[in-house]
Structure 1
């Protein structure tokens, strides 16, 4: 399993982020991209210059974040 150091060592240049909104996307949306076999980057469309947070699939699941909601498969 990847740890925090491993996750942040992964290159996310060129990662394809997808938005998921809980309502009207006027206030910003959560963005998610697969960045590795068991690795994801989670961003905020309101802060596009901020470094996305990185998670394993297990961590996303524990947080209740389903990649399918973004149109992504695990």
Structure 2
């Protein structure tokens, strides 16, 4: 387990990659944008980037729709 800040809230999550975290949140990795420690993480590398103690992440997911 590691302590991170996710969208402004401190959380304890399982160690693993950012892609693992996104999946555990029930989100589709193809439909999210992730910022880690104020840097955008390219979607193609989400499975390669490991979470570290104290990481600050912002995850935004895209929702379809419109007029």
User: Normalising TM by the smaller chain, what interval?
Assistant: under 0.3
Greater strand share, 1 or 2?
Answer: 2
- TM-score, structure 2 length as denominator? 0.25
Q: Greater RCO between the two (CA within 8 Å, min separation 6)?
A: 2
